[in-house]
């Protein structure tokens, strides 16, 4: 499920950070994901501040505004530590999405049987009770899993993962700029 964001959610619907941490522009994220799949070479030209991939003649980073001549000079590869930060961010996100989707299933399983058994007609007619319960599991389970995981899990996971990324970025800056 860790690839969920990139494979199922169209890019324009993805959550975008509104904090001051410049790490992981869409271009950098795409580059790192393509890199783990072996689709692009590791070497290239990257902003020396936020590591966004930039063209050979780019003077100003389009993502963080770093001046490649007056500011931090471009680097030829993204530092391993930055890749690790992204991996950790995505892992936190997918844990939340999967965890809440699973919670949605559990709610359907437990809530469904409680609901069916609370109605006298179904308690007396086991065939109908089984059919209704099956329907609740199929439809309700899927909806709850999608709603909790896809909506709340996605947002909460993103917020928590992003908070961790901000900390990691601050630490990286201390290490890098000392
Ligand atoms: Zn930059």
Contact between 133 and 141 under an 8 Å Cβ cutoff? The reply is no
Q: How far apart are CA 154 and CA 4, in angstroms?
A: 10
More confident residue, 81 or 1: 81
Calculate mean pLDDT across residues 116-121.
Answer: 96
CA count, 13 A, side-chain hemisphere, 14: 19
Q: How far apart are CA 86 and CA 98, in angstroms?
A: 18
Give the tens place of pLDDT for each residue, 57-99: 999 999 999 999 999 999 999 999 999 999 999 999 999 999 9
What separation in Å is there between the alpha carbon of 25 and the centre of ligand 1? 8
Q: Is 61 helix (H, G, I), strand (E, B) or coil?
A: coil
pLDDT at position 17, please? 78
pLDDT at position 18, please? 78
What separation in Å is there between the alpha carbon of 56 and the centre of ligand 1? 14
The whole-chain average pLDDT of the chain stands at 91
Burial class, 31, CB count within 10 angstroms (exposed 0-12 / middle 13-18 / buried 19+): buried
| CB-proximal residues (5 Å) to ion ligand 1 | 47, 49-50, 52, 61, 63-64, 66
Give 66-100 as a DSSP string: -BTTTSSPPBSS--HHHHHHHHHHHHHHHHHHHHH
Task: Tell if the pTM clears 0.85, that is, is over it.
Answer: no
Q: Would you tell me how many other CB atoms lie within 10 Å of the CB of residue 108?
A: 22
What separation in Å is there between the alpha carbon of 12 and the centre of ligand 1? 21
pLDDT at position 106, please? 97
Give the tens place of pLDDT for each residue, 30-51: 999 999 999 999 999 999 999 9
Calculate mean pLDDT across residues 151-173.
Answer: 95
Whether the per-residue pLDDT at 105 is higher than 70: the answer is: yes
pLDDT at position 20, please? 83
């Amino acid at each position: 499920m860790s690839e969920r964001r990139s494979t199922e959610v169209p890019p324009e619907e993805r959550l975008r950070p509104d904090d001051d941490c410049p790490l992981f522009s869409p271009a950098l994220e795409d580059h790192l994901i393509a890199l783990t799949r072996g689709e692009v070479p590791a070497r290239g030209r990257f902003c020396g501040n936020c590591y966004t991939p930039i063209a050979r003649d780019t003077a100003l980073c389009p993502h963080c505004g770093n001046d490649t001549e007056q500011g931090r000079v471009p680097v030829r590869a993204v530092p391993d530590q930055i890749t690790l930060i992204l991996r950790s961010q995505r892992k936190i996100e997918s844990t939340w999405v999967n965890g809440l989707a699973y919670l949605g299933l559990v709610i359907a399983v437990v809530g469904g049987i409680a609901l069916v058994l609370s109605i006298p007609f179904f308690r007396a007619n086991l065939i109908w009770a089984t059919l209704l319960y099956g329907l609740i599991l199929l439809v309700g389970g899927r909806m709850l899993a999608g709603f909790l995981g896809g909506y709340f899990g996605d947002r909460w996971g993103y917020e928590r993962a992003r908070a961790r990324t901000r900390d990691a970025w601050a630490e990286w800056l201390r290490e890098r700029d000392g």
